[in-house]
């Protein structure tokens, strides 16, 4: 029991890093699958055609923040006009011009940024670092515990 308690004391940081790393890796893998791969999307000029209120500018406590809108844009591809939902944005007005990226295989699919896969890769990288750090911390703690045990046997 004493050795178990010592091991728990020595691995406090590692016991945090291991599950955090696993959770970040799982999050990164799942979010990577859900993020659109927009590297091959083509840039086009668009105009905000509609903006439906998504979140008020004031919350329940009366604190002010910028209102958010579910934004739709109109753009033209090969002479055909499309109107697509872009997503939730703030600080915009109907009629504002902006650059968007459309899927050449399905021009009705549009995104605001071409590279949307940043967050999953960051989560995967941080998860790997945390997992490796946790493994190193636990292995060093086990080695230290073995050295203490050998020293204890030597003294007795």
Question: Cα torsion at 12, 18, 19, 24 (round to 10°)?
Answer: 130
For the stretch 97-123, pLDDT in tens is 999 989 899 999 888 875 556 788 899
118: tokens are: 């940043």
Residue ranges covered by each domain of the chain: 2-35+119-155, 42-114
**pLDDT tier at 78 (50, 70, 90 boundaries)?**
very high
Q: Are strands 68-77 and 97-103 parallel, antiparallel or unpaired?
A: unpaired
């Amino acid at each position: 029991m004493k050795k178990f308690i010592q091991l728990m004391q020595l691995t406090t940081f590692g016991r945090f890093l291991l599950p955090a790393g696993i959770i970040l890796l799982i999050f990164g893998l799942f979010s990577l699958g859900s993020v659109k791969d927009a590297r091959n999307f083509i840039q086009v000029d668009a105009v905000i055609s509609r903006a439906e209120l998504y979140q008020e500018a004031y919350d329940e406590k009366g604190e002010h923040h910028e209102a958010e809108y579910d934004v739709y844009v109109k753009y033209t591809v090969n002479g055909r006009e499309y109107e697509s939902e872009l997503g939730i944005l703030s600080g915009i007005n109907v009629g504002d011009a902006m650059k968007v990226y459309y899927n050449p295989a399905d021009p009705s699919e549009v995104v605001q940024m071409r590279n949307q896969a940043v967050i999953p890769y960051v989560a995967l990288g941080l998860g790997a670092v945390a997992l490796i750090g946790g493994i190193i911390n636990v292995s060093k703690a086990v080695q230290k515990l073995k050295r203490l045990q050998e020293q204890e046997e030597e003294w007795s």
